A and B are shown apart, each in its own frame.
Chain A
């Protein structure tokens, strides 16, 4: 009894951590490569969730509606990200930090209101297809079957990103651009184009995460801000610009959240901040980051 309870709580923490990883990995990728702190990242994630709801409600008579809506939402959100990059972010590379931050802050404000205008203030709920309505039993513990899917996608994206950065030509270019963009540029590789696609990829993952999120629970306005703050905590805990760090940070935050909510529901967020602050004191560059350049 005790173990099954523990295990199901662990699995829901893992799911939560994976959702956070999907948001934080794109955020961390964009920040690591382009040095742009995307305040609007979670707002785009929320747009992904609402888009998925819209696609789903258009096709809801079919069983595969959800499975089609998630990739559609991801692609559409990625396209929105691409437009943002080309229209706005592109002009910000050489600008100062406060200007970049103000622009992404403005994007968060604008997209937040556009969501309100488009989808209204009421909560949205997707009715799950029959295949994921019943829980599965693992080690005697009832686990939401959709959680298995979420965890699988999370690991797939983690492995995919790792493979992309480690083994593909473009991954190597991206990693080199983090290290020295002048040198990469001097080798004749068009940095702006690389940046555009990195940003689009980051937002695409955010859209994918949004689409997946939409079937976990109801979608509400303002979800984006608590998510972006947790993504901040994740990158601080895991270390800036480290994929492994982001994964470990997400899982820590997810598990802590999932267990803290049992014993001290109001204090779950506070506990996460306490961990973040403790990490900063002991290792200011995070668990897997490299020490900050002065």
Chain B
């Protein structure tokens, strides 16, 4: 029945958002174009993270590692080998994917909170390697001078470039979530045991999903380097790993665009707060506590509760899947 709805009816929200995003640079000053570029990049990061969290039901607290691998791949290729930006993007996805394959191999053996612990630990492992490998990554100095090509150098062209890449990536991720593979993920989330009983190799599927998520996190990171003109090890640190988690929780992990909405709120807040204080972590920590305490389910959750908006994909049984298997 769902399939018969017209295209416009099904996809009005992303279409409206896309059109707004297309028109934005004409309406706002260039500082805010920068902020919106950041929103798109971090939004892609959060959407890719949500493949693991919202769709597979496991909480990865170390996705910044793959984001960082992507960012460093692009940075190193552009600075040390003079590659063009566009050619570095697929390479970044591949390196991040390989990183996710190696570390995910261990992570998918665990579930629930143990999965989270291991992803945190491995995330920090990547951070330490990048931090200490001075000769290759520049250590805590990071890499400077990652300049995008001339035609992308100013804010507006880079914004459109990011918009195109992020839109294409989001559409691909959307099709993955709507494919049989995506529904296998939901089955694993809702009942891992039963999924195993019908003959699905759960660990292998989880690993594949982990790799896909890592690849798109890597792509987001790859967009970040040239946008920021530099990369630093902080990109892979634990603080940055929490960002997509919070974005997904704030926007609502059970809607495909929820993490992007979370990114809009979070990044706006960041741009606003860092304008007058350097203690952004303090402020964001307080905001996180308030959001988690007062609006579980995120923005989409609140809207759904009030009945303004019918989410396309209600979560199957009302309980959160991440918690399955504890107690």
The answer to whether A280 and B118 touch across the interface, beta carbons within 8 angstroms, is yes
The answer to whether A270 and B125 touch across the interface, beta carbons within 8 angstroms, is yes
Decide yes or no whether B153 CB sits under 8 A from chain A: no
Chain A residues with Cβ under 8 A from B20's Cβ? Answer: none
The answer to whether B193 and A294 touch across the interface, beta carbons within 8 angstroms, is yes
Mark B97-123 against chain A: 1 for CB-CB distance below 8 A, else 0.
000000000100111111011101110
The answer to whether A98 and B132 touch across the interface, beta carbons within 8 angstroms, is no
The answer to whether A269 and B292 touch across the interface, beta carbons within 8 angstroms, is no
Decide yes or no whether A37 CB sits under 8 A from chain B: yes
Chain B residues with Cβ under 8 A from A225's Cβ? Answer: 124, 237-238
Chain B residues with Cβ under 8 A from A112's Cβ? Answer: 281
Chain A residues with Cβ under 8 A from B53's Cβ? Answer: 98
Chain A residues with Cβ under 8 A from B286's Cβ? Answer: 106, 110
The answer to whether A236 and B125 touch across the interface, beta carbons within 8 angstroms, is no
Chain A residues with Cβ under 8 A from B260's Cβ? Answer: none
Chain B residues with Cβ under 8 A from A88's Cβ? Answer: 289
* Nearest CB in chain A: distance from B125 CB, A: 5
Decide yes or no whether B239 CB sits under 8 A from chain A: yes
Of B79-87, B224-232, B304-312, B317-325, the stretch lying at the interface with chain A is B317-325
Chain A residues with Cβ under 8 A from B28's Cβ? Answer: none
The answer to whether B121 and A97 touch across the interface, beta carbons within 8 angstroms, is no
Interface SS, B side = helix
Instruction: Tell me how many residues of A have a C-beta within 8 Å of chain B.
Output: 45
Q: B102: nearest residue on chain A (CB-CB)?
A: A277
B242 touches which of A102, A110, A240, A270 (Cβ 8 Å): A102
Bound-state Cα–Cα, A248 to B206, Å: 32
Given A97-B59, A232-B117, A292-B114, the answer on whether A113 and B279 have CB atoms closer than 8 Å is: yes
The answer to whether A101 and B282 touch across the interface, beta carbons within 8 angstroms, is no
Decide yes or no whether B249 CB sits under 8 A from chain A: yes
The answer to whether B124 and A236 touch across the interface, beta carbons within 8 angstroms, is no
Decide yes or no whether B133 CB sits under 8 A from chain A: yes
Chain A residues with Cβ under 8 A from B285's Cβ? Answer: 105-110, 113
Bound-state Cα–Cα, A226 to B124, Å: 8
Bound-state Cα–Cα, A117 to B281, Å: 12
Chain B residues with Cβ under 8 A from A294's Cβ? Answer: 111, 193, 325
Chain B residues with Cβ under 8 A from A273's Cβ? Answer: 121-122, 125
Given A96-B323, A97-B326, A109-B282, the answer on whether A232 and B120 have CB atoms closer than 8 Å is: yes
Decide yes or no whether B284 CB sits under 8 A from chain A: yes
Ordered by A's residue number, 16 sampled pairs between the chains whose C-beta atoms are within 8 Å are A37-B117, A96-B322, A97-B116, A98-B322, A105-B285, A106-B285, A109-B285, A110-B281, A110-B285, A117-B279, A232-B120, A266-B133, A269-B132, A270-B129, A284-B109, A292-B110
List residues of chain A with CB under 8 Å of any chain B CB.
Answer: 31, 35, 37, 39, 88, 91, 95-99, 101-103, 105-110, 112-114, 116-117, 225-226, 229, 232-233, 235-236, 240, 266, 269-270, 273, 276-277, 280-281, 284, 292-294
